[in-house]
Amino acid sequence: MTSPTISKPILTERIISKRLMLLVLLICAIAPVFPLVATSEEFIERDSLREVMAKNGVDGAFVGYDVSAGRVFLINAPRARKRLNPASTFKIANSLIALETGVVRDENEVIPYRSETPPLIREWARDMSMREAIKLSNVPIYQELARRIGLGRYHEWLSRLTYGNAETGSVVDRFWLDGPLAISAVEQAYFVAELALRKLPLSRRAQDVVCDIMKYETVADHTIYAKTGWCRSCKPQIGWWVGWVQQRGGVFAFALNIDVVGVADLDKRIPVAKELLSQFGAI
């Protein structure tokens, strides 16, 4: 499920002034579009870097948020602002909410596997902890957590976290897979940046735990924390990689989404994002 693209003027390879962004936001306040997450950062479009995606045979969008510098880099800005189904990137927020509401004791509590349909991945079909489930992107395990949380608490917490459109619909264990929940790459980058800085309206414990289980790799002077996603119900299908790089005391948050034309495109998410992160000096 997608939502209308946010209509904002962007100047290619030029910084959009903060005053202009504030003016645009005031105009958009009376228009039927989704507002940007922030009003104080400098937005820079870098469409020349779309060639990184093109040479890998994919099309999509990328957002890089240099938190300390207050700069947000956009590749394919209209798409970067379009709300898309988060798929398994929602496991980040889902883990936070599960811990905060106490439906799971901690990241090591074993959660029972309950599914009436054959698993997409064979390794999913067993009981496991949230720490293991997020690494395997185990959908049935997180669906069990969703049923424990319930729609009422999701309504409360998604609004409090300002997570995308914060819509759940009526199916408690499918709304992030099939919609109506939707979030843009810009919003994803801001969300994980706040998590990295422990600034979300949640306990420090919940944020510390989720950051820990999101750790992807540590290389030289940086550590990557990230989560993949694959929206199979989207048309075209969408692949995500969302997270941040912690380096030299700073945070560079990012969100990549690409069209998945064939299953082989899923393996391109991380290499493409890493190449773009390298271009921005984040890794």
Just list the catalytic residues: 88
Contacts of 66 (CB under 8 A, 6+ apart): 72, 73, 250, 252, 280, 282
The three state secondary structure string of the chain is: CCCCCCCCCCCECCEECHHHHHHHHHHHCCCCCCCCCCCCCEEEECHHHHHHHHHCCCCEEEEEEECCCCEEEEECHHHHCCCECCHHHHHHHHHHHHHHHCCCCCCCCEECCCCCCCCCCHHHCCCEEHHHHHHHCCHHHHHHHHHHHHHHHHHHHHHHCCCCCCCCCCCCCCHHHHCCCCECHHHHHHHHHHHHCCCCCCCHHHHHHHHHHCEEEEECCEEEEEEEEEECCCCCEEEEEEEEEEECCEEEEEEEEEEECCHHHHHHHHHHHHHHHHHCCCC
- Rounded-to-integer distance, Cα 97 and Cα 99, Å: 5
Q: Is 205 exposed, middle or buried (0-12, 13-18, 19+ CB in 10 A)?
A: exposed
